[in-house]
Amino acid sequence: MNCIGIETFSGTPVKLTFDAAISAIEPVSDSGGLYLAPGFVDLQVNGFLGVDFNDPNCTPEQIARSIRGLIATGVTRFYPTVITGSPADMLCALRNLKSAKETLREGVAIDGFHVEGPHISPDDGPRGAHPLRWVRPPHLDEFHRWQEATGNQIRIVTLAPEWPQSLRYIEAVTAEGVVASIGHTNATTQQLADAVSAGATLSTHLGNGAHPVLRRHPNYLWEQLAEDRLMADFIVDGIHLPPSFLKVALRAKTLARSVLVTDAAAPAGCPPGRYQLGEQAVELTADNRVMLVGKERLAGSALRMDRGVENLMRIAGLSLADAVTMATTNAARAGRVPGRTNGLVPGDRADIIEYVFNKSDLSITIQSTYISGEKFY
């Protein structure tokens, strides 16, 4: 099979030849007007199209529909993300998602799982929208139950380093090839440094899940921004981060260490109204905010990856190539997604999107999505 278009990173017309993996890329004289890029990789998706991945009772049909919706936005690999909840509910949700991965045609897009919490700060602010009653310290027995439930497919665990158990936990999970990500934290400078030395390599939605007011310095945002051993992901929906913070954060982390995520929740892709995030009711407002019902607190986002790429260009002033890099190869490196770290080169998985790029308004329109060489959209 082959595709012809403008290769996003080089800007040159090429022909891609592929089956499950890319076998060749060669220059051509005419692109036909389409652009080609690796498919988007989203490391944090709590739900989509009204489907809450934290709900153990999601049916296969509901999960399939939500994945098809993600694929239509250019996503080819993603990590369904289960947040803080009761031990039983978290296990059941993970088992349910593992079954979907193994039985659904669309399940090929699920490349692993992200567990965000429950080992986070119990404090208001850093805890974000996670339910306080289920916040608990890290315990390796619980991690191994998650691994058993998913067939050892947990890929990222987000936790706060300030728990006394955190350093041993980080050392243990990273020894198993799992990414330990710092998030929803109230850690001190020393606790953050110790966590990175223990093996933490990522910051989860940096700039969010934080106190509304912080001391000037030191604080846990500056420390993570300054730590060159940490990559960081950002929710670029124009709501979670103001333009000034986003621009400064990207300069501090540099393009090489910056990742786009959506943190999408069930309301993403839906009309305004009430939805669920785990055991909590959330509302999608008319201005596209996902809020805990009855509280002025964000609870995930309604962002799509294609819109996130556009926002990186419009809000942060990135080029198309750099914005797509944050959504593809950088995300794959941060989340250790196999076969996706090099881009459109022979040997990498044939996860490919064809899209139209409008330079006048910096919009992209997905035309086709291939996963491992198979056309899904």
Catalytically active residues are 263
Phi first, then psi, for residue 39 (nearest 5°) are -65, 155
Angle formed at CA 303 by CA 301 and CA 304, multiple of 5 degrees: 145
Identity of the amino acid at 222? W
Identity of the amino acid at 237? D
Distances (CA, A) of 334 to 152, 227, 249, 294, 376: 18, 15, 17, 35, 25
Q: Which residues contact 30 (CB under 8 A, 6 or more apart)?
A: 4, 13
Go through 203-217 and write b for each residue having 16 or more CB atoms within 10 A of its CB, e for each that does not. bbbbbbbbeeeeeee
Angle formed at CA 272 by CA 267 and CA 274, multiple of 5 degrees: 65
Q: Is the bond leading into 218 cis (omega within 30 degrees of zero)?
A: yes
Please name which of 238, 268, 274 lies closest in space to residue 67, comparing C-alpha atoms.
Answer: 268
Spatial contact of 46 and 265, defined as CB atoms under 8 Å apart: yes
Distances (CA, A) of 355 to 1, 4, 333: 17, 11, 23
Please name which of 21, 71, 22 lies closest in space to residue 48, comparing C-alpha atoms.
Answer: 71
Phi first, then psi, for residue 188 (nearest 5°) are -80, 170
User: What pairs with residue 276 in β-bridges?
Assistant: 281
Cα–Cα distance for residue pair 179/219, rounded to 1 Å: 23
Distances (CA, A) of 177 to 84, 96, 161, 174, 336: 22, 23, 18, 5, 9
Cα 170 to chain centroid distance, Å, stands at: 20
